[in-house]
Amino acid sequence: MCGILAILGSHDASPARRDRILELSRRLRHRGPDWSGLFAGQKCWCYLAHERLAIIDPASGDQPLYNENKDIVVAANGEIYNHEALKKSMKPHKYHTQSDCEVIAHLFEDVGEDVVNMLDGMFSFVLVDNRDNSFIAARDPIGITPLYYGWGADGSVWFASEMKALKDDCERFEIFPPGHIYSSKAGGLRRYYNPAWFSETFVPSTPYQSLVLRAAFEKAVIKRLMTDVPFGVLLSGGLDSSLVAAVASRHIAGTKAANIWGKQLHSFCVGLQGSPDLKAAREVANYIGTQHHEFHFTVQEGLDALSDVIYHVETYDVTTIRASTPMFLMTRKIKALGVKMVLSGEGSDEIFGGYLYFHKAPNREEFHHELVRKIKALHMYDCQRANKSTSAWGLEARVPFLDKEFMEVAMAIDPAEKLIRKDQGRIEKWVLRKAFYDEKNPYLPKHILYRQKEQFSDGVGYSWIDGLKAHAQSHVSDQMLKHAKHVYPYNTPQTKEAYYYRMLFEKHFPQQSARLTVPGGASVACSTATAVAWDKSWAGNLDPSGRAALGCHDAAYTENSAASSTSTVAAQENGHPKASFSKSKSIDATVLTPQAVH
């Protein structure tokens, strides 16, 4: 990842202005510690500042980047995976670097604003055309990379990778929406990414083909092995990260990436001592043969990091902060090893309905529409967590599940095939599990392939959330929570934990524009109002943890196992969510094998 800051329409060429822009750009240097660049346009009507994390062409790929005549300038954050293919399909150009992002400037010279439709990757960029003093800004289809935009008192338009670079100098700022382009010529935003499945009224009907889905995902993982620096994979031991690791491990030998840090894939996991993720990740790593790195943290270390986490991730959302903190701590350890890029498993739950409340989906239509709503919100939750938690220490996270081509395949599948049917042995995300079930050449052990969902904040150790709640309890009184609506009338916190995070957020970001960038509404069971609509019994639960869906956990699949069902129910009645979660591997595998669904 990199950090970009752009100011357009300023017409301020004073030394003080340049110094201020350099100062604001330094706020983004954690995203790109390798080099800094600044372009000042004619009569300084525009500034493009860039903080670089060098992944491709570390020697000569500094930004901003230019076309041949240097009259088109671009500052970009992200990776363009199809840059080589684009170069072959375009008319000949003279390239100044081997950077994958330089192709944006040359492609714009050829096709103009249609450039955004031809890019395959994760990206946010601002491009200035000095031939007519126009500019565009764009963000990738799902919002894997962050981007904000704002307006200065002098009429200037600002863009930045993180709002910390805008908060003090813009009268107002907002999240730049994913899949959109801002054009100075057109006078504003327009959506460029709008596939058929993106509509909340369309319901796909393509029959499920397991091998087609498998091939699409393998292609998505392989293209993300494009790197000139040491890399690895985040491995929690759950289905999604394990599949990413398994596919990458199979394909790394013989590739260019294999020469960067040996032929053995490196994997990384974090957790409290004895956490479920550490145990499962160790087993997966041993099975697929990665060089595994296991990091531990204490609850106190996590609590001590909360203010820094909120500053970097730029949110007060409870679930995001719970999950971001272990990831933030792990990233620092990973960067200390010299690693600059990791693969991660975000996006699978939104594409396949992996959250436990999807058990309650009443039909294929509502199932699919909820998937679309969750995908559209990813940029405010999992994408924000994964990107900013890692970028805080100059590490890039790549997410194969959110590959544009893979999503076209996965989201075209008839949602009836994705429905959770315990009477047929269909666990959540069974279409993905079945796609990688291979008896002759297994990708993963069967019980890992069918390991049930746990939220990252639960999997790193159950006492983590308990510790957060206890810490908030000691800092927020009953009286404070009682009057929360007067102190925080927008997005009023409903719990002491939420109130505590809000206090930390307001210290860093006191602006109203900052508050408005965080999704609204009180947390509800399974962190979505849809869950309540599907099951009214969840309406009063303010805990967004996976524990809110205990009734959907092991007990959902254990009708053939009276002992397991009894244990789960007893654990819930006694108030011990840990006990019920700990039985996630005791599910009868014979019920869950792909053959059972036919």
The percent of residues above 90 in pLDDT, for the chain, comes to: 76
What percentage of the chain exceeds 70 in pLDDT? 86
Please tell me whether residues 83 and 9 are part of one structural domain: yes
Cis peptide before 493 (omega within 30 of 0): no
Residues 172 and 254 in one domain: no
- Across 469-501, b (16+ Cβ under 10 Å) vs e yields bebbeeebeeeebeebeeebeebbbbbbbbbbb
> What does the pLDDT read at residue 265?
95
Q: Which two tokens stand for residue 351?
A: 């594409």
Is residue 219 assigned to a domain?
yes
Average pLDDT over residues 109-121: 97
Whether residues 157 and 231 fall in one domain: no
Residues 6+ apart with CB under 8 A from 114: none
Contact by Cβ (8 Å): 325, 295 = no
Query: What pLDDT was estimated at residue 570?
Result: 28
How high does pLDDT run on average in the chain? Answer: 88
**Torsion of Cα atoms, 456 then 462 then 468 then 471, to 10°:** -170
Q: Are residues 299 and 381 in the same domain?
A: yes
Domain identity same for 51 and 170: yes
Q: Which two tokens stand for residue 457?
A: 């904040």
244 assigned ligand-binding residue: no
440-455 per-position pLDDT tens digit: 999 999 988 987 766 5
Do 244 and 160 reside in the same domain of the chain? Answer: no
- Mean pLDDT for 80-90 is 96
Q: Is 115 annotated as a binding residue?
A: no
The reply to whether 349 sits in an annotated binding site is no
Q: What is the mean pLDDT of residues 27-53?
A: 95
Model pLDDT, residue 424: 87
DSSP 189-253: EEE----GGGSSS----BPP-HHHHHHHHHHHHHHTT--SS-EEEE--SSHHHHHHHHHHHHHHT
> What is the Cα–Cα distance from 454 to 554, expressed in whole angstroms?
11
53 and 169 together in one domain: yes
| Number of domains comprising the chain | 2
pLDDT class for 525, splitting at 50, 70, 90?
very low
φ, ψ (nearest 5 deg) of residue 355:
-75, 145
Contact 53, 89 (CB under 8 A): no
Report pLDDT for 201: 87
The lowest-confidence range among 38-42, 56-60, 324-328, 569-573 is: 569-573
Select the more confidently predicted residue: 345 or 543.
345
Mean pLDDT of 388-392: 98
Sign of CA dihedral 426, 428, 432, 438: negative
Lowest-confidence range among 98-102, 144-148, 432-436, 575-579?
575-579
Amino acid at 379: H
The yes-or-no verdict on residue 281 having pLDDT over 50 is yes
pLDDT in tens, 403-441: 999 999 999 999 999 999 988 889 899 999 999 999 999
For residue 198, being part of any structural domain is answered with no
Q: Same domain, yes or no, for 110 and 227?
A: no
Q: Which of 293, 291, 288 has the alpha carbon at shortest distance from 245?
A: 288
Q: What count of other Cβ atoms lies within 10 Å of the Cβ of residue 340?
A: 23
- What confidence score (pLDDT) does residue 262 get? 74
Flag whether 203 is in a domain. Answer: no
Residue 148, SS3 per DSSP:
strand
Residues 316, 593: Cα–Cα separation, whole Å = 40
Same domain flag for 483 and 579: yes
- The answer to whether 78 is annotated as binding is no
What pLDDT, on the 0 to 100 scale, is given for residue 453? 65
List the strands of the sheet with 291-296, edge to edge.
291-296, 266-271, 231-234, 341-343, 396-398
**Domain end marker among 140, 161, 193:** 193
Number of CB atoms found within 10 A of residue 137's CB: 24
pTM for this predicted structure:
0.90
Residues 185 and 227 in one domain: no
In whole angstroms, give the CA distance from residue 594 to residue 592: 6
Domain termination site, one of 193, 218, 234: 193
Judgement on whether residues 152 and 33 belong to the same structural domain of the protein? yes
Rounded to the nearest 5 percent, the helix, strand and coil shares of the chain are 45, 15, 40
Determine the average pLDDT of the residues in 274-288: 93
pLDDT greater than 70 at residue 87? yes
Q: Name the amino acid, one letter, at 471.
A: H
Domain harbouring 523, CATH code: 3.40.50.620
pLDDT band of residue 500 (cuts 50, 70, 90) is very high
Q: Which amino acids are annotated catalytic?
A: 2
Categorize the per-residue pLDDT at 148 as very low, low, confident or very high, splitting at 50, 70 and 90. very high
pLDDT for 572 equals 30
Give residue 588's pLDDT: 28
As a whole number of angstroms, the distance between CA 551 and CA 553 comes to 6
pLDDT at 584: 32
H/E stretch holding 589 reads helix 589-592
- Give the rounded distance of the alpha carbon of 390 from its chain centre: 10
Helices 496-508 and 299-313 pack at an angle, to 10 degrees, of: 50
425: in domain: yes
| Residue 540: pLDDT over 70 | no
In terms of Cα–Cα distance, which of 362, 356, 480 is closest to 415?
Answer: 362
pLDDT, position 581: 28
Asked, for residue 47, whether it belongs to a domain, the answer is yes
pLDDT band, residue 544 (cuts 50/70/90): low
Strands 231-234 and 341-343, sheet pairing: parallel
Residues 118 and 263 placed together within one structural domain of the fold? no
**Residue 199 covered by a domain:** no
Q: What is the DSSP code string of 510-539?
A: -SHHHHHTSPPS---GGGSHHHHHH-GGGT
Q: What are the two backbone dihedrals, phi and then psi, of residue 124, each rounded to the nearest 5 degrees?
A: -135, 135
Q: 31: closest CA among 162, 175, 140?
A: 162
Q: What are phi and psi of 68, to 5 degrees?
A: -55, -45
What CATH number should be reported for the domain holding residue 8?
A: 3.60.20.10
Q: Which range scores top for mean pLDDT: 53-57, 197-201, 388-392?
A: 388-392
pLDDT at 598: 27
- Region 304-331: mean pLDDT is 97
Tokens of 589: 């595998």
Predicted confidence at residue 57, as pLDDT, reads 86
Domain assignment of residue 523, yes or no: yes
Distance, CA of 193 to CA of 181 (rounded, Å): 9
**Confidence band for 81, pLDDT divided at 50, 70 and 90:** very high
Q: How confident is the model at residue 576 (pLDDT cuts 50, 70, 90)?
A: very low
521 has binding-site annotation: no
DSSP state, residue 26: H
Strands 266-271 and 291-296: parallel
pLDDT at 6 over 50: yes
In a domain, 204, yes or no: no
Give the pLDDT confidence score for residue 554 in this predicted structure: 53
Which range marks the domain in which residue 270 is found? 210-597
Query: Which is nearest to 342 in space by CA: 440, 282, 267?
Result: 267
- The tokens of 574 are what? 């006694």
Spatial distance between the Cα atoms of 242 and 453, rounded to a whole number of angstroms: 13
Residue 450's pLDDT is 87
Least confident piece of the model among 208-222, 231-245, 263-277, 451-465: 451-465
Task: Please compute the mean of the pLDDT values over residues 563-571 and round it to a whole number.
Answer: 30
